[in-house]
Amino acid sequence: MATETNTGTEAETAHAQAQSGDAQSGDAQHGDGQHYWYHSDKAALTRRLKRIEGQVRGIQRMVEDDEYCIDILTQISASTKGLQAVALNLLQGHLAHCVAEAQTSGDAAAAEAKVKEAADAVARLLRT
């Protein structure tokens, strides 16, 4: 299965595999058997998100243990920073893959829509 044998860091391999056989139907999340670019980064992304989950659980323990408000605020800032770092990582990959794909596809409207969507995502990140 694609996800078990794919040890490379290139999304292409996964794409190729996903598109080459009929075995991926159960594996493919996108109908056409595609994986997003971050497929190869999954382990790293998951590790970072697990760490943030642990931080949020740590904040709950701080509240439970009546710790000092300012120390809790410091931990909240750290978790938020962690989430933003993940977001920036995803954004960079998104620009390098999904947006680039649209821009090289020759479909100007699709490219413009992708850029608008990415800018809107940045606007949401800035507003938080």
Return the residues of window 1-60 that contact a copy of itself according to CB under 8 A. Answer: 3, 8-9, 29-30, 34-39, 42, 45-46, 49-50, 52-53, 56-57, 59-60
Contact between 98 and a copy of itself (CB under 8 A)?
yes
Dist CA 25 CA 77 (whole Å): 42
Q: Residue count at the site for a copy of itself (CB under 8 A)?
A: 71
CB of 86 to a copy of itself, least distance (A): 6
User: For a copy of itself, which is the closer residue by CB, 20 or 29?
Assistant: 29
Would you give the DSSP letter of residue 39? G
Using H for helix, E for strand and C for coil, what is the string for 46-112?
A: HHHHHHHHHHHHHHHHHHHCCCCHHHHHHHHHHHHHHHHHHHHHHHHHHHHHHHHHHHHCCCHHHHH
Using H for helix, E for strand and C for coil, what is the string for 74-89?
A: HHHHHHHHHHHHHHHH
Site string for a copy of itself, 99-118 (x = CB under 8 A): xx--xx---x--xx--xxxx
Contact set for a copy of itself, span 66-95 (CB under 8 A)? 66-70, 72-74, 76-77, 79-81, 83-84, 86-88, 90-95
